[in-house]
A and B are shown apart, each in its own frame.
Chain A
Amino acid sequence: MDVSGTGIQEPFDLIRLSLSERVFVKLRGDRELSGILHAYDGHMNLIMSDVEETIMIVDTESAMAGQGVVNVAKRKMEMLFVRGDSVILVSPPSRT
C-alpha cells in the first residue's frame, strides 16, 4: 500500500489508528495491558479504559535448578493513565 496515500507519516500515526480501539500495551517490569485506548501524547502517555493488567512475577526463590516459576497476576481497572516512560510497545490486539 502506498505510504503517502494512507496519510501515515510517523509512527504515532499508527497509534492514532488505534484510538478508541482495544490495544495491547507492553510495559516495563514484566507488565502487559489490554484495554481501550482513548488518548496518547508524544511521551506515549496513554489513557486507557477497561484495562486488564497482567503482571508476570518470576519466582526465583522456589525455583528448581535455575528454572524460575512464572506467576501471573491479573487485575482490572476501569480507567488508567499510563506514564509513557514505561511503555515498551503498543499494538492492536492479535486478531483471531
Chain B
Amino acid sequence: MAFFGLPERDLPISSIGERPGNIAEYTWGEESYDGLGDALQEGRDDLNDETFGSTGPVGKDFDFSSQAPPELQNDYQQPLRTQPRNATTASLESLWHDHSAFSVLPRSNGPSRAGERHRMSPAPTQTQSHRYASPSHIGHMTGHQSQIRARTLQEIESEMLLNAQRQREQERERQEQEREELLQLEIEQQRLLRQQELLQQERMREREHELQQLMLQEQQQLQQQLQRQRLLQQQQQQQLHSQHTPPPRMMPTSQSPRFLDQQRQLLLVQQQQHQEQQRRLQLEEQLRREELERQMLAMNLERTRVDSPLYNGRRTQASIPAEVQEAHFLQQAYERQLQQQHQQHRRQSSRSPANLNPQYMATLQQDRLQSQDLLLHQRIIAELAAHGELPIDMRNVSQADQEALRAEAMRKILETEKMEEKRRRKAAKIAHMARYNDLMTQSDKDFITRIQVSQLVTQDPYADDFYAQVYGAILRSRMGLQSQDERVLKFGSGGGVGLGLASKGGSRRPSAMQRMEQQVERIVNNARKREEEKSLHALHSLQGALGKTSGRSYKAAPRQLLQVDGAAASPTLSHANPTGHISKGPGETKGGAAEEAAKLGRAALGTAADTDNLVKKEPLTHRQTLVVLEELYDLVLRIEQLRRDQPPSEDDRENDEWKAEYDHLVDRLWNEIRVMVPLETSDPHPFISLLTPSKGKKILPRLTRHLTNQRLLTLLTLLVACFHQLDVVKQALILDDVHDTVERLEVERQTAAFLGSVMQSILPVVSTANLRLVTGLLGLLLDRSNIVAVAQTRPGLALLTLFLSRVEVIKQTIATTPDVSDSPTLEESQQWRMIFDHLFQLLAPHFLTLFPSVRMAHRVSNDMPLQTDAVDQPVWQFLAALALHGVSEQHHVLVASLREKILENVFSVNKGWVQDEEERQTKLANVNLFLHAVNLDSSQIAM
C-alpha cells in the first residue's frame, strides 16, 4: 500500500521541485486547484476504506506514533525554519492521520515567508497586514477544528501553521472570497481596526490617546475572543490530559470539576500572556500601517520604484543608521519581553510536567515566529525612518505604558501562579486519584458485588463463619444482650452467607450490609429462576462467571486437612482407634462398678471383677493422644453442627433420622474418650491421657454437653478414681517453684486450663449429686489417691472443696426443707461422717503444708517477699469448708495446727508489714474466711 511506501514521502518534494522558487502550495478544493492532488493519487487504495473503516474520521485511540516527544519535534522543526524550501518533508504520520490535504504541507515558518512576501508585495492592503498579526485567529481556527474531532496537539499545531500559510496564500490571491470565510470575531476585529484606521488618519497628532483607547477596545475584544478560546483550549487541554494518563474508557467529560478549575487557571495564565502578545502585535500593526502609509506616500513620490519596497528598505537601511539604531532598540525591548515570557514558561514547566506539552511548544513557536516578525518589524521601522516622520514620542509613551501594563500583568501572573501552585498541587493529587473515577458504572459494581457475594454463599454459613459467630455469641452474652439467633443469612436450598459480627453504630456498614442483603436477595431470586429453568443449583449457575479458577477454590477458610469422611469413617472408626485399647469384653461394667463403689462408700472399686479380663496396655503415647484428640474435635464439631441443623419438631420421620444420627455420633464420642476402658488398663488411664494436653482439657466442656447424666457420672467417677494420675496433680510440685521457669509456666497454664475446663464440666454433676454419691466419690478419692499429695495441689483442693461445699449445701437443704424426697438416709449421713473423719485424720498432720506459701518458704533460703496470699486463698477456703463440717475437737485441731499461720497473717497486718492496703485486705480476708468458719474473728486475736 502506498501508505507505507517511501515514494509517498517523496511526492511532495518532487512537486516542490517542479515549482522552484515557490513554497509548495496545495490548493485542493479551491478555484485555482491545479489538479496536482489528482496526480498524487496512488493506486491500490480501493480497499482502504474497508481496511481502515470508511465512515468518519479515523480515531486517535491507537495513535501512538504521532506522540513524539515535543523536544524532538521542536528540534525537527528548527532546521525547517531556517530552510523553508525543504519544509515540505511532511511527516508520514500527518499524512496518515489527517485526511486534510494540508497536513501534507510543511508545518513551519509561515510568518518568515509572510515577511518576505510582505516585503515583496507591491501594495498590501490594510486588512492584509492586520491579518498577519492575529495569532488568536490561528488559535481560533485550530480550536474550531479540534471541535470537529479529536486530534493530537502536534497535528493541531501543524495544521494551525498550515492554515495560517494557506490564508496568506489565499489573501494574496483572493481577498474577497477570504473575507467571507472570516469568522465573526475577525470581522469585528477588522471593523474596529478600520475604525481605528480612520481615526488614525484623522488624528495623527493625538496618537497616544488613541492608542490607549485602542488597546482598551482590543482588550475588550480579546476578552470575548478569549472566552471562546478558553472553551476550545479546554477541550485541547482535556485531550492533552487524556493523552497523558489515559485510563481505559476515560471520557473527557468525566473530568472532575476541580480538574476543570485547574485547567481554567492554567488557561488564565496563558491568556494573560496571550494578551500581552496581542498588545505587542497591536503596536506592530500600527507601525506597519504607518509604514504602509509612508509607502503610499513614497510611491507617489517615487513613481519609478513603486514596486520595490524591498529595494526601498535596503536603501533606507543603508542610508540612515540612526534610525536603524532606534529600530534595534525597539527590537531589543521586544526580545527582552520574549525572554521573560520564555522564562515564565520555563518556570511553569519546571513545576508541572504537564506543561511540557505540545501546546507549550506551540506557544514557544509562536514566540519564535514573532521574533521573526520582529526582524520584519525592524525593517519597517527602518523604512519609516527613511521618511523621517516616525513619531518618537508616541513610541516612547506607548512603551512606558506597555511597561506599566506588563508590570501589572506580571504581578497578577505571579499572584495567580502562587495560588495556582497550591491549587495545582492539590488538584494534581486529586486528579491522580480521580483518574479512575467513574470507570465503573453502577451495574459494573453491582456485577462485581454479585460475584463476590456469590463466592460468599456457602452450604454451611454458620460453620464457615464459625469464629465470628461464636465470638459474637460470647460478646452478646457478656454484654447481657438477649442472644439472637445466628447471624446467618439462609436461603432455601441450604446455602447461606455468614454475616459475621453485628455491626454496631457504624454509619457506612449498615447500608453496605443492606446493599449486600439486597444483592444476595437478587442473586437468590435469579438463582431460583434459573433453577426452575435449568434445574441447576444457584451456586453452579454463577460458577465460572468470571472464568474458571484453577487449582484451589476461592474460599479463604483454611483447608480442611483431615478429611474424616462421615459415611466411611463410621465403620472404620472402631478400627481407627489407634491404641486398640478398648477391650469390649464381658467385663464392660466399669460404670456399674463405679456406681457400686459409690454405694460402698470407701470400699474399693470393684476392679477385681474386671481384672479377670483385664489386658494391661501401655498408656497412650503423646502422639496417640493427639490423634485421638483431633478425632474428638472433629466429632464434637460435627455433633455441634448437627445440633444446629436440628430439624423443626413437626416432622417426625426427619426428627427420628436426625436423632439416630446424633445418637450415633455421641456414641462414637463416648467411645473415643475411653471412659469405659477398665480402670487398671494403664497408668495413666487413657482418659486421663486425653486430658493431658491443654486442648484435651479444653474440649471436655464441649464434649460433656452432649453426654447423658449417667455417662457424666461415670466420667466423674473415673476422673476421681484416677485423680492422682492427672498431669496437673503429678506436676503440681513444680508450681511451688519460686522461679519462673518454662516448666512452671507450662504447668501453670495446664492447671488453669484444668480448673477452667475440666472442673467446670464436672461442676454441674457434683452440684446435683446426692450425699451418697459425694460420699462415694470422696471415698474413692481417699482410697485410690494419696490424699495429702492431692490436697497439696490446686485441682485437688478445688475438688475437695467442691465435695465439701456440696455436702454443706445438702445439709442446708435438709435443714430448710426437711420433706425433700431424696433426703439422705441416716445411713448415708453416717457414711459421710465416717469418710469425712477419715479425710480429716489423713490431712491433719499436713494442714500447714497445704499452703503454697509454706511450701515455697521451704525452698526459699532468704526471706524474699512473696506475694502468696492469692495462692493461699483456695487453701483458706478449703480449710473453712473443712471447719464447717468439723466437730469441735476437729476445730481445735485445726486452729492448733494453723495457729502459726493465722498469727503470722494477723501480725503482719497489724504491724504494717504489708506493702499496700490490698495485701492487708487479702490477708485479713483469708484469715477471717477460716476463722468465721470456727466462729472466730481476727479481731479477737490478742496481740
Q: Does A22 contact B (CB under 8 A)?
A: yes
Contact segment of A2-10, A54-62, A77-85: A2-10
Given known contacts A1-B578, A17-B623, A42-B559, A7 and B564 CB-to-CB distance under 8 angstroms: yes
Q: Does A67 contact B (CB under 8 A)?
A: no
What is the chain A residue whose CB lies nearest that of B576? A5
Q: Does A18 contact B (CB under 8 A)?
A: yes
Given known contacts A10-B561, A16-B561, A5 and B575 CB-to-CB distance under 8 angstroms: yes
B559: A residues at CB distance < 8 A: 41-42
CA distance A19 to B633 in the complex (A): 11
Q: How far is the CB of B470 from chain A (nearest CB, A)?
A: 15
Given known contacts A6-B576, A6-B578, A7-B576, A17 and B561 CB-to-CB distance under 8 angstroms: no
CA distance A40 to B576 in the complex (A): 25
Q: 0/1 per residue, A22-43, Cβ < 8 Å to B?
A: 1000000000000000011110
CA distance A10 to B561 in the complex (A): 8
CA distance A72 to B518 in the complex (A): 58
Q: How far is the CB of A43 from chain B (nearest CB, A)?
A: 10
B695: A residues at CB distance < 8 A: 19-21
Q: Does B371 contact A (CB under 8 A)?
A: no
CA distance A12 to B626 in the complex (A): 14
Q: 0/1 per residue, B551-578, Cβ < 8 Å to A?
A: 0000000110111100000001001111
Q: Per a CB cutoff under 8 Å, which of B562, B578, B622 touches A16?
A: B562
A75: B residues at CB distance < 8 A: none
What is the chain B residue whose CB lies nearest that of A19? B695
Please tell me if the beta carbons of A8 and B626 are within 8 angstroms of each other in the complex: no
Q: How far is the CB of A58 from chain B (nearest CB, A)?
A: 26
A4, A17, A50, most chain B CB atoms within 10 A: A17
Q: How far is the CB of A12 from chain B (nearest CB, A)?
A: 5
CA distance A50 to B748 in the complex (A): 13
CA distance A85 to B367 in the complex (A): 62
What is the chain A residue whose CB lies nearest that of B559? A42
CA distance A17 to B626 in the complex (A): 5
A42: B residues at CB distance < 8 A: 558-559
What is the chain B residue whose CB lies nearest that of A45? B558
Q: How far is the CB of B669 from chain A (nearest CB, A)?
A: 15
Please tell me if the beta carbons of B746 and A22 are within 8 angstroms of each other in the complex: yes
B561: A residues at CB distance < 8 A: 10, 12-13, 16
A5: B residues at CB distance < 8 A: 572, 575-578
Chain B interface: which size bin? 20 to 34
What is the chain B residue whose CB lies nearest that of A20? B695
A13: B residues at CB distance < 8 A: 561-562
A40: B residues at CB distance < 8 A: 558
B575: A residues at CB distance < 8 A: 5
CA distance A10 to B560 in the complex (A): 12
B631: A residues at CB distance < 8 A: 7
Please tell me if the beta carbons of A8 and B627 are within 8 angstroms of each other in the complex: yes
CA distance A12 to B563 in the complex (A): 12
CA distance A2 to B624 in the complex (A): 12
Q: Per a CB cutoff under 8 Å, which of A9, A10, A18 touches B626?
A: A18
Q: Does B630 contact A (CB under 8 A)?
A: yes
Q: Does B139 contact A (CB under 8 A)?
A: no
What is the chain B residue whose CB lies nearest that of A10? B561
CA distance A20 to B626 in the complex (A): 10
Please tell me if the beta carbons of B562 and A7 are within 8 angstroms of each other in the complex: yes
CA distance A50 to B746 in the complex (A): 10
B563: A residues at CB distance < 8 A: 9
Q: 0/1 per residue, B50-71, Cβ < 8 Å to A?
A: 0000000000000000000000
B577: A residues at CB distance < 8 A: 5
Please tell me if the beta carbons of B578 and A39 are within 8 angstroms of each other in the complex: no
A21: B residues at CB distance < 8 A: 626, 693-695
Q: 0/1 per residue, B681-696, Cβ < 8 Å to A?
A: 0000000000001110
B576: A residues at CB distance < 8 A: 4-7
CA distance A18 to B577 in the complex (A): 19
CA distance A4 to B627 in the complex (A): 12
Q: How far is the CB of A73 from chain B (nearest CB, A)?
A: 18
Q: Per a CB cutoff under 8 Å, which of A1, A4, A7, A41 touches B630?
A: A7
CA distance A42 to B746 in the complex (A): 28
CA distance A24 to B115 in the complex (A): 90
B563, B564, B626, B698, most chain A CB atoms within 10 A: B626
What is the chain A residue whose CB lies nearest that of B745? A50
B623: A residues at CB distance < 8 A: 17
A1: B residues at CB distance < 8 A: 578
B746: A residues at CB distance < 8 A: 22
A2: B residues at CB distance < 8 A: 578
What is the chain A residue whose CB lies nearest that of B694? A20
Q: 0/1 per residue, B623-666, Cβ < 8 Å to A?
A: 10011011100000000000000000000000000000000000
What is the chain A residue whose CB lies nearest that of B569? A7
B626: A residues at CB distance < 8 A: 17-18, 21
Q: How far is the CB of A33 from chain B (nearest CB, A)?
A: 14
Residues in B727-777 with C-beta less than 8 Å from chain A: 745-746
What is the chain B residue whose CB lies nearest that of A41? B558
Please tell me if the beta carbons of B627 and A7 are within 8 angstroms of each other in the complex: yes
Q: How far is the CB of B695 from chain A (nearest CB, A)?
A: 4
Q: How far is the CB of A71 from chain B (nearest CB, A)?
A: 21
CA distance A20 to B558 in the complex (A): 16
What is the chain A residue whose CB lies nearest that of B575? A5
Please tell me if the beta carbons of B694 and A17 are within 8 angstroms of each other in the complex: no
A10: B residues at CB distance < 8 A: 561
CA distance A40 to B558 in the complex (A): 8
Q: How far is the CB of A64 from chain B (nearest CB, A)?
A: 34
Given known contacts A21-B693, A95-B622, A16 and B630 CB-to-CB distance under 8 angstroms: yes
What is the chain A residue whose CB lies nearest that of B556? A41
A95: B residues at CB distance < 8 A: 622
B562: A residues at CB distance < 8 A: 7-9, 13, 16
A92: B residues at CB distance < 8 A: 622
What is the chain B residue whose CB lies nearest that of A21? B693
B693: A residues at CB distance < 8 A: 20-21
What is the chain B residue whose CB lies nearest that of A39? B558
B562, B631, B745, most chain A CB atoms within 10 A: B562
CA distance A1 to B631 in the complex (A): 16
Q: How far is the CB of A17 from chain B (nearest CB, A)?
A: 4
Q: How far is the CB of A79 from chain B (nearest CB, A)?
A: 15
Q: How far is the CB of A6 from chain B (nearest CB, A)?
A: 5
Q: How far is the CB of A45 from chain B (nearest CB, A)?
A: 10
Residues in B539-597 with C-beta less than 8 Å from chain A: 558-559, 561-564, 572, 575-578
Q: How far is the CB of B471 from chain A (nearest CB, A)?
A: 15
Q: How far is the CB of A84 from chain B (nearest CB, A)?
A: 12
B564: A residues at CB distance < 8 A: 7
CA distance A42 to B564 in the complex (A): 18
Residues in B690-745 with C-beta less than 8 Å from chain A: 693-695, 698, 745
Please tell me if the beta carbons of A17 and B630 are within 8 angstroms of each other in the complex: yes
CA distance A38 to B694 in the complex (A): 12
CA distance A39 to B576 in the complex (A): 25
B698: A residues at CB distance < 8 A: 20
Please tell me if the beta carbons of A6 and B627 are within 8 angstroms of each other in the complex: yes
CA distance A21 to B627 in the complex (A): 13
What is the chain A residue whose CB lies nearest that of B629? A17
A7: B residues at CB distance < 8 A: 562, 564, 576, 627, 630-631
Q: How far is the CB of B671 from chain A (nearest CB, A)?
A: 15
Q: 0/1 per residue, B825-852, Cβ < 8 Å to A?
A: 0000000000000000000000000000
Can you offer 30 A-B residue contacts whose CB atoms are under 8 A?
Answer: A1-B578, A2-B578, A4-B572, A4-B576, A5-B576, A5-B578, A6-B576, A6-B578, A7-B631, A8-B562, A8-B627, A9-B562, A9-B563, A12-B561, A13-B562, A16-B561, A16-B562, A17-B623, A17-B627, A17-B630, A18-B626, A19-B630, A20-B693, A21-B626, A21-B695, A22-B746, A41-B559, A42-B558, A42-B559, A50-B745
Closest 5 CB pairs of A and B: A17-B626, A20-B695, A12-B561, A5-B576, A6-B627
Instruction: Given contacts A7-B576, A20-B695, A20-B698, list 8 more A-B pairs with CB under 8 A.
Output: A2-B578, A6-B578, A12-B561, A18-B626, A19-B630, A20-B694, A21-B626, A41-B559
